[in-house]
Structure 1
Amino acid sequence: MKIESAETVVTSPGRNFVTLRITTTDGVTGLGDATLNGRELAVDSYLRDHVAPLLVGRDAGRVEDTWQYLYRGAYWRRGPVTMAALAAVDMALWDIKAKAAGMPLYQLLGGASRTGALAYGHASGRDVPELFDSVRAHLEAGYRAIRIQTGIPGLDSVYGVAASTAGGGQRYDYEPARPTALPVEEAWDTRAYLRHVPTVFEAVRSEFGPELPLLHDGHHRMTPIQAAKLGKALEPYDLFWLEDATPGEDQAALRLIRQHTTTPLAIGEVFNSAHDYTLLLQDRLIDYVRSAVTHTGGITAMKKLLDMAGHYGAKSGIHGPTDISPVGMAAALHLDIAIHNFGIQEYMRHTPETLEVFRTSYTFADGLLHPSDTPGLGVELDTEAAARFPYRAAYLPVNRLTDGTVHDW
C-alpha cells in the first residue's frame, strides 16, 4: 500500500484538536493525534507544510523506516511540535497496518498482557466537603483509583480544581487552554500549598479508608527541597504516586527528592523523547513514566521508551487528559494492554461534542479501560461533525507568585 494523501483536520468541539488522516491507494485510512494544547496551529503547519509532502508515495507499511526518516532526516530533532507531528504520522500508519491485518492494534504489539487497564480519574474540590462529593461521584462512576486535587485557602484559582473560578468568574474544566485574547494569570503560594495538602490527604484517608489508590499532581510548582518535604509529609497516606513534583528540566533534582521520601514519583508529561528519561531511569529516580503517546513520537517511540523503563523497574502512567484526543487515548490503551510493565492510565471522559466528532470503540467498566477488538486503533473521524466546530485560539494560564513573579504553571 502506498500513501496517497495526508491531510490535517483541526476542530474544536469544546477544545481544540489536531488530527492527521492518511489515506492509502487501497482506500485504507489511518488517524493520528497531533494535538499540542495551546500551540495547535504550530503542529498543524508542521504537518501540512513540511511532513505531508514527504509522505505521498511512501510505502504505508514501513512504519519504523518512516519514523526514522522523519526524525533523523529533519536534522532538527525533538521538541514538542516535531514530536507531536511525528506521533500523528506514526499512529496513523499503525492504524492502517492493523486495519489491513484485520486486527486490533494491540495484537500487532505482542497481544494482550492483561484484560483491562486500571484507570484513575480526577477528583477535586474548592474545599474538603466538595472534594468528598467529587470522590464519591468518581467511585459511583466506576473508578478504582483517584487523583486528589484541592483548593488552597487564600487562592482563587488552583490547577486541577474543576470548580475554580478565573477569567471573570467562569468555571473551567481542569486545565484547558481557554479562548481568551491573552493567557489568564493565576496566583500561587507554595508555602500555603505545602501546609494544606497533607491535611487534605489525612481527611480523604479517614473518610475513604486505606485501600483506595490516591494520586496527586504537584504540576512542577515546587523546588526539590519543597517536593522532598511534601513527599515525606504524605508518606502516612500511602500515595500511589506524587506527580511532577518539580520542573522536569532539572532531572538531577529528582535525586534529592528520592533521598528524602519513599513516596513513589511520576514525571514526564512535558517530556517528548526517551532521552529525557535516561538519567531518571538509570539512577532509579522515578517509578512511573508519564509521557503522552501524542507528544512523544507515537506508538513506535513510546513502546521503546516503556520497554527501556521496564529494565529499571519503572512502570507506565501514560498522560491522558482531555487535551489528548480520543485517537491519542486509543493509542495509549493499545500500549497499556500490550506492554508488560503497565502501571495505570489517566482517564478523563471527553465531552459529548468531542465524541460526536471522534467515534470511539474503547470501553470503561469496573475501573478498567479496554481499547476494543475493532481492527486498527478503533476510532473514526466524522469530518462533517468536525466542520461544525471551527478552531478557536486559546491559551493555557500563566502562573505568578503572590509577589508577581512568573512561576511554573
Structure 2
Amino acid sequence: MKITNAYVNICSPGRNFVTLKIETDQGIYGLGDGTLNGRELAVASYLTDHVLPCLIGRDPFQIEDIWQYLYRGAYWRRGPVTMSAIAAVDMALWDIKGKALHTPVYNLLGGRSRQGVMVYCHAFGKDIHAALEDVAKHKEMGYRAIRVQSGVPGLKSTYGVGKTTGYYEPAERGLPTEYEWETESYLRSVPGLFAKVREVFGEEIHLLHDCHHRLTPIEAARLGKELEPFHLFWIEDPTPAELQEGFKLIRQHTTTPIAVGEVFNSLWDAHDLIRNQWIDYIRATVVHAGGLTHLKKIADFADLYHVKTGCHGATDLSPVSMAAALHFDTAIHNFGIQEHMPHAAETDAVFPHAYFFKDGYMYPGDKPGLGIDFDEKLASQYEYQRAYLPVNRRQDGTLTDW
C-alpha cells in the first residue's frame, strides 16, 4: 500500500476545523485533525506547504518511522504548529491501518483496558445559584463527573462562564475579546461555590475545577488547601507550567489532585512534572501533542509514576480528535478521565461518527479505524471565519493569563 494523495480541508461548522485526508492506492483513506484554536491557518500551511509533499509514495503502515521523519527530519522540533501538523498525519495513518486490517484502532494500541470511558462535562453559571442549576441539569443527563465554574463577584466576565446558557464555547469571531481579572475575588469565591455544590449534591458525583493558569504557585496552594474538604477530582492548570518546579510548591501544601497539560506539545513539557510526581493527571491532547504515537509514549512514561491521563476534549478538537482520544482512552492502562464538550449539531453532521455517550461514559464504537468520516460537500457550506480566544487583563490593565 502507498500514499497517493493528501490534502487539507478548512471549514467552520459552528467553529473552525483543520481536517487532513490521506488517500492510498488501495482506495482506503484516513482522517486526521490539525486544529489549533486561533491559529488554524498556520497548521494548514505547515501541512500543505511542507509536510504533505513528503508523504507521497510512502507506506502508510510505517507509522513510527513517518512520525520520526516529520519530527526529527524537520530539525525545528516541537511547538504547537509543528506538533498539530504531525498529529494530523499520525491520526490519519492509524485510521488507514485500522481500516486496512478491519479492526478499531484501540485494538492496534493493545486492545480494550475498559468497557467505557468516564467523561466529565462543563457546568457553569453567572453566579453560584445559576451554577447549581447547571450542575443539576448535567447530573440529570447522566454525567458522573462535572467541572464547575461560576462568575466571580465584581468581575463582568470570567473563564468558563458562557455569555448565554447552554454549551460553553470561548472562541469568538473577529478580534479577541478582552476579559478582566482579579485574583483575590476569585480565591474568595471558589471555596464557597464548592461548599454549596457538595451541600446540595452530596459526595456521589466527581467535581472538577479549572484555574486556567491564572494563579501563582502559592495562590494555587492556598486554593487547593481550602478546597480539600470538598474532595475535588482535580484542580486544573493551577499555574502556568513553563516553570515546572512551581508545581512542587503547590504539592507541598495541598492534597487536592492536580491536572495540567492541555497546552503541552511533547513529553518534555511534562517530564519533570511526571518524574517528580508533582501532578496527578496529564492532560496532553491527541492533536496538540503529536498524535496517538506520541501520546501513547507520554501515557506509558506517566504510568511509571502513578500519573493518569485526563485528556483535553473541548470543542477546539474536532470529532476526529475525539474519536482518536476515545480509542486511546479505551486502550491504555493508566486512563483517568476524558473531557467531553459536545459539538454543535452542524459539526456532528459534517463529521459523522461511531462514538457515543451513555450514562456518564463514552464509547469509541467498533467500526474499523477511528470510526469517523468527513462530509466534504456539506463542509464546503461552512467557510473558514477568523476567530480568536479571549485575552485577559487585570483590573489595572496589566495583561495576564487567560
Shift of the alpha carbon at 1:14? Answer: 1.1
Q: What letter is aligned with 1:342?
A: F
Aligned to 2:333: 340
Q: Is the 8 A contact 1:176 1:323 kept in 2?
A: no
Rounded to whole Å, the distance in 1 between the matches of 2:18 and 2:170 is 15
Corresponding residue for residue 46 of structure 1 = 46
Match of 2:260 in 1: 267
After superposition, give the CA deviation of every residue in 1:71-114 in whole Å (9 maximum; x if it has no partner). 00000000000000000000000000000000010011110000
Contact 1:15 1:176 in 2 (8 A): no
- 1:5-404 aligned at under 5 Å gives the runs 5-163=5-163, 174-180=168-174, 182-404=175-397
CA distance in 2, matches of 1:62, 1:176: 38
The alpha carbon displacement at 1:136 in A equals 1.2
**In 2, distance between residues paired with 1:29 and 1:157?**
44
Query: Residues 85 and 38 of structure 1: is their aligned pair in 2 closer, same or farther, counting only changes over 3 Å?
Result: same
8 Å Cα contact 1:317/1:344 also seen in 2: yes
- How many residue pairs are counted as aligned between the two chains? 402
**What amino acid does structure 2 have at the position aligned with 1:178?**
E
1:234 is paired with a residue of what secondary structure? helix
Kindly state the Cα deviation for residue 173 of structure 1 after the two structures are TM-superposed: 5.1
Distance 2:254 2:247 in 1: 11
CA distance in 2, matches of 1:5, 1:157: 46
In structure 1, runs of 5+ residues without a counterpart are 165-170
Specify the alignment match of 1:167 in structure 2: none
Q: CA separation in 1, counterparts of 2:189 and 2:329? A: 34
The 8 Å contact of residues 185 and 398 in structure 1, kept in 2 or not, is answered as yes
1:21-58 residue CA offsets vs partner (Å, 9 max, x unmatched) = 00001110100010000000000000000001000111
Distance 2:40 2:378 in 1: 19
CA contact 2:122–2:341 (8 Å) conserved in 1: yes
TM-score, normalised via structure 1 length: 0.97
Counterpart amino acid of residue 3 in structure 2: I
Task: With the length of structure 2 as denominator, give the TM-score of the two structures.
Answer: 0.99
Distance 1:186 1:158 in 2: 7
The 8 Å contact of residues 167 and 341 in structure 2, kept in 1 or not, is answered as no
Residue pair 1:187, 1:402 contacting (<8 A) in 2 also: yes
The 1-side partners of 2:230 and 2:318 are apart by: 33
What displacement does 1:2 show?
0.4
Q: For 2:170 and 2:286, locate their aligned partners in 1 and report how far apart those are by CA, in whole Å.
A: 19
Q: Contact (CA 8 Å) 1:163, 1:173: kept in 2 or not?
A: no
State the SS of the aligned residue for 1:378: coil
Give 3-state SS (helix, strand or coil) of 2:387's partner: coil
By how many angstroms is 1:174 displaced? 2.9
- 152-161 or 257-266, which moves further after superposition? 152-161
Cα distance in 2 for partners of 1:87, 1:283 equals 27
Residue identity in the other structure for 1:131? A
Q: Equivalents in 1 of 2:392, 2:148: separation in Å?
A: 20
Contact in 2 for aligned 1:125/1:163 (Cα 8 Å): no
> What is the Cα deviation at residue 175 of structure 1?
4.3
Amino acid at match of 1:326: P
Alpha-carbon distance in structure 1 between the residues aligned to 2:273 and 2:310: 15
Q: Secondary structure at 1:380's aligned position in 2?
A: coil
Seen in structure 2, the aligned counterparts of structure 1 residues 277 and 81 have a Cα distance that, compared at 3 Å, is same
1:172 to 1:76, Cα distance in 2 relative to 1, 3 A:
farther
Uncovered stretches (5+) of structure 2, i.e. residues with no partner: none
Residue identity in the other structure for 2:397: G
Q: Secondary structure at the match of 1:360?
A: coil
CA displacement at 1:199 relative to structure 2: 0.4
